[in-house]
Amino acid sequence: MSRVTLADTIKKYGATQVIHGIDLEIEDGEFVVFVGPSGCGKSTLLRMIAGLEETSDGRISIGGREVTRLDPADRGVAMVFQTYALYPHMTVRENMGFGLKMTGHRKQEIDAKVSEAARILKLEPLLDRKPKALSGGQRQRVAIGRAIVRGPEVFLFDEPLSNLDAELRVDMRVEIARLHKEIGATMIYVTHDQVEAMTLADKIVVLRDGRIEQVGAPMDLYRDPDNRFVAGFIGSPAMNFFKAHVAGDMVDIEAFGRKVRQPVRQLPDRGPVVVGIRPEHLRVDPEGDTHQIDLVESLGGVSYLYLVSKSGERTIVEDRGDHHRRADDRVGLAFDPEAAFVFDAETGQRLR
Amino acid sequence: MASKRSPLSRLSQAQSAALLLLPFLATYALFLVYPFFRGVWISLHDWNLLEVAFNPDAKEFVGARNYVRVMWGRGIEWSAWARPGLQLFALAGLVLAAILHATRRIGRGPAIGLAAAALLLFVVAGIHAGEEGRWYDRRFWPTVGNTILFVALTVPGVTISALVLAAAMNRETRAMSVLRTLFFLSQVLSVTVVTLIWQIMFSPRQGLVANITELTGGSPVNWLTDERFAMAAIVIPTIWWSLGIAMILFLAGLQDISRDLYEAGALDHATGAKAFWYITLPNLKRTITVVIVLQIILHFQVFGQSHLMTQGGPNDETQVLVRYIYQTAFRDSELGRASAMAVFLFLIIGAFSVVQFLVGREKD
């Protein structure tokens, strides 16, 4: 019912093109997260769906209805802004009911919907306050409430948690996930935080420089990235990349100081490649001496070791268990070849 | 950054603040505070400008007699229906204050303010000279009335047109910044230039206004000497003249409103006029209040427009308070009586300054 379809969507500012022909299908009720580094066009794309930015070319449809040239209010979307964008002169109740008031709904109807949204978000005690008298988290809940009251086909979230402190961010993340379960509406969520993307999304869209790098379920992107960019962006701490050479069916990784049996089927015969290994798939080999421990971050159950190779390459290793590694120790590295990814050294495309 | 050799650094913060403030405070005291008290003192004397100039002893302490001579009369009465129109209007204001407060449209402070103003109008409008009575100075209260009328026409005129212009020009384009400069330009002209321009504009023979009137089929009027138009003829140039500052204040206020609010509004079906009414105006409330109060204070002191364009005429229709003070003091040499009027004007302006101070302090 509320599918969102983008077909060859393009955005230009004068001569500068920032969105390069995006094609995307978002299913009814799906929670989709646009993720990417700043300047990748994720917010612009969201604002194009909202109608706050004009679409230069291509088509956008929501619920089977083309909306490309419609006003924001006529698209059946509601948006939650990073800055909350609450009307400062209105109470929480008035803020939430404003959209319905503008479309001429009756007061009882508005009150009923506002009360319902307030109940879902536990905002009842705050209804008569003004935004100024609320905390950041409360304001964001009101902003979400305002979106709920409008009863949209699609919810749009533009980095809604970036202005909150870390603890609150986790709470709100859980709350948004719960909300999605409760209302079941289509939601599109923009963030630069891959943890938010991983935890919230049914489907992640990784963007870079106005192009889609990969679309998929969070664990699919994690397990099976299409290219070096996605591999490096999804997962925390980020994947390690090593310069390597292919020789026959062996991969020679300089930093390891030895050849490894290659884990992929279609390697080029010879030449440079990049091997990517996640920190959790690397092991410290106490016998080796290819790396020096630069720093140890102990988080309790897990420690992150920051290693430097002889040639100066930096590597992060996840170390589980009680090993008492110390900075300046010399160690070697080992890994499971099955867990390694091989990328083209030039294009960054995954070789499989 | 220890500036060891700076002489200022040897003083405490309070001392250096005092030092830096000293030139201003000295000037302020010498040219404003002292003359003010001197003025109050003069207003308590029978003080002929020329006589006292030649003979400092030619003044006589008369207490409040100047105030009585200016503001009061013989056989002055009060009744609740002396000016039914004004007094009913005042009563309506009183009721409005009560209703607005009861329905929580306005807070307690503004409600009390509105009610007090309405009550004051009701009482003042009821004062009149009885059958046998007469005012000692027949021209004073009509002059005050003219001044209030001038303010009542000018201030909304300036505020509304400045607000509309600011809203229209709140865009970062080259054309808009040129227009902003143009509209602000009139502000830098002196009152003599402004009145000269508008005297030509209003001239019944070659003036632009007369030409337009003729084009639309009307017969040109002499704005400056026609009783019906004289007040308008000094109000319009004043609006044109003082638009700039108000517009700049509004532009600053508009730029303080986050763009996000308009985007949220766009999603809430509030665009165009609705956005202006529901988002722009409420968020500009404080700027609007400040502009209004500043304009009231400024325009109560109107002098040049009346003096240079209409000479207070025709038939005293455009005689305003400052011009009357000026004439009483420097034409009639009645410095004591003029000072009493000046003190009265000070009280009016002082009251609005207090309002401005309260508004400025008010949170939200």
Whether residue B353 lies within 8 A of chain A, CB to CB, comes out as: no
Strand A270-277 versus strand A302-309 pairing type = unpaired
pLDDT for residue B311? 87
Chain-chain contact of A73 with B267 (C-beta, under 8 angstroms)? yes
A99 contact residues in B (CB cutoff 8 A): 267-269
- B275 touches B265 (CB < 8 A): yes
**Of A51, A73, A89, which is closest to B283 when you measure between CB atoms?**
A89
* pLDDT 10s digits, B220-243: 778 888 888 889 989 999 999 999
Query: What ipTM score was computed for the predicted complex, to two decimals?
Result: 0.85
What's the average model confidence in pLDDT over B343-361?
A: 86
Q: Which CATH architecture has domain B140-361?
A: Orthogonal Bundle (1.10)
Distances in Å between the Cα of A27 and the Cα atoms of A5, A78, A190 are 9, 17, 17
pLDDT for residue A247? 77
pLDDT for residue A289? 83
Chain A residue with Cα closest to B282: A89
Q: Is the pLDDT of residue A263 over 80?
A: no
Whether residue A51 lies within 8 A of chain B, CB to CB, comes out as: yes
**CATH superfamily of domain region A240-346:** Nucleic acid-binding proteins (2.40.50.140)
Task: In whole angstroms, give the CA distance from residue A209 to residue A217.
Answer: 21
User: Higher model confidence: residue B111 or residue A261?
Assistant: B111
Whether residue B282 lies within 8 A of chain A, CB to CB, comes out as: yes
Domain boundaries, chain B: 140-361
Confidence of residue B30 (pLDDT cuts 50, 70, 90): very high
- pTM for the model: 0.80
Task: Please state which CATH class domain A4-233 belongs to.
Answer: alpha beta
Q: Is the pLDDT of residue B322 over 50?
A: yes
Chain-chain contact of A132 with B364 (C-beta, under 8 angstroms)? yes
Strand A302-309 versus strand A31-35 pairing type = unpaired
User: Which two tokens mark A8?
Assistant: 């060859």
pLDDT for residue A100? 92
Alpha carbons within 13 A on the beta-carbon side of B311: 3
Domain boundaries, chain A: 4-233, 240-346
Partners of residue A275 on adjacent β-strands? A242, A342
B269 contact residues in A (CB cutoff 8 A): 73, 99, 102-103
Confidence of residue B49 (pLDDT cuts 50, 70, 90): confident
* pLDDT 10s digits, A131-187: 999 998 899 999 999 999 988 999 999 999 988 888 888 988 998 999 999 888 999
What's the average model confidence in pLDDT over B175-183?
A: 86
Q: Going along A125-278, which residue ranges are E strands?
A: 154-158, 186-191, 203-208, 211-216, 240-247, 250-253, 258-261, 270-277
**Of A73, A86, A103, which is closest to B266 when you measure between CB atoms?**
A73
User: Which two tokens mark B169?
Assistant: 């020009």
pLDDT for residue B1? 46
Distance from CA of B60 to the nearest CA of A (A): 58
* Best mutation target, B267, B269, B279, B285, to test chain A (most A CBs within 10 A): B267
Distances in Å between the Cα of B30 and the Cα atoms of A73, B27, B42, B343 are 62, 5, 17, 18
CA proximity to B346, closest of B26, B37, B28, B25: B37
Chain-chain contact of A83 with B260 (C-beta, under 8 angstroms)? yes
User: Higher model confidence: residue B174 or residue A189?
Assistant: A189
